[in-house]
Amino acid sequence: MTNLDAELHGLAPFIELPPEPELAPAVRARIGARRPRPGRLVLALALVLLAVAVTFAVPPARSAILRWLGIGNARVEFVDRLPDVRTRRPLDLGVHTSLATARKSVRYHILTSKLLGKPKDVRLRFDQVAFVYGDHKLVVLQSEGTFFTKEVDPRTNVDRFRLNGADAVWISGPRHIFGYVAGPGGDHASELYLVGNALIWQRGPLTLRLEGKVSRAEAVRIARSFR
């Protein structure tokens, strides 16, 4: 241990800290008697059942059958009525950064696309890296541990297919909402945005999402280029 190490350790007891609040009663009141979501085994079983449901679902009855669909860290939730989001706002993609800094900040290998080349902007939010191309006309996001939701109503087209040997979902149609789930934690209900077409796919441990005014074929071509 160097002198500076020792001095910093020695400084700790002198640091002024605010008094610690008692959090347990408030937390207990908020969680109530609700049980955390189902365990992994139940979840895996539910996913299998949902996959079967997707395969056999008749489009008009789809919203009545499906409750949600999991793709990596994404969760597509089928709802009868979308939350009241009237305005289309730009997504909060996080802080501006560079690819080099982003690489130092996340635990995973960041995928890039030779097809799209260098992004106009790189953003970082939790462990989610976003590449922005051409004045926000196309955004590609990737993360290992940032969970997010997509809420769709029965008029939205949701097509599940295989891409690079893994599950993928193409979402298109007039009504479709994006809502964040931060890091490994729970929902951020306040962050809801109306968005356009989107492709969600997996590559290794990563979940990637593409949003923009592109066709499904273009989106798939772009997705395949991310390595």
Partner 1 sequence: MTEAELIARAKRGDAAAYEELVRTYQGIAFRTAWLVAGNAADAEEAAQDGFVKAYRALWRFRDGAPFKPWLLRIVTNEAHNRRRTAGRREALALRASGDVVSGDAAPSPETALLGSERREELLAAVNRLEEHHRRAIACRYFLDLSEEETAAVLGCRRGTVKSRLARALERLRAELGEEA
Residues of this chain that interact with partner 1 (CB under 8 A) are 2, 4-24, 26-28, 30-40, 43, 104-107, 126-127, 182-188
- Residue pair 143/109 in contact by the 8 Å Cβ criterion: no
For residues 129 and 122, the answer to whether their CB atoms sit within 8 Å is: yes
Give CA–CA dist 48/209, Å, rounded: 22
Burial annotation 191-208 (CB, 10 A radius, 16+ → b, else e): ebbebebbbbbbbeebbb
Nearest distance from C-beta of residue 81 to partner 1, angstroms? 23
Which CB, 92 or 159, lies closer to partner 1? 92
> Nearest approach, Cβ of 90 to partner 1 (angstroms)?
15
Nearest CA to 140 among 159, 172, 118, 156? 118
79, exposed or middle or buried, with CB in 10 Å at 0-12, 13-18, 19+? Answer: middle
Rounded to a whole number of angstroms, the minimum distance from the CB of residue 167 to partner 1 is 18
Shortest distance in whole angstroms from residue 216 CB to partner 1: 31
Nearer to partner 1, 124 or 139 (CB): 124
Sequence letter at residue 120: K
Q: Nearer to partner 1 by C-beta: 6 or 166? A: 6
The dihedrals phi and psi of 152, each to the nearest 5 degrees, come to -130, 150
Cβ proximity to partner 1: between 186 and 204 the closer is 186
Least gap, CB of 47 to partner 1 (angstroms): 13
Which residue number, 7 or 159, has a Cβ lying nearer to partner 1? 7
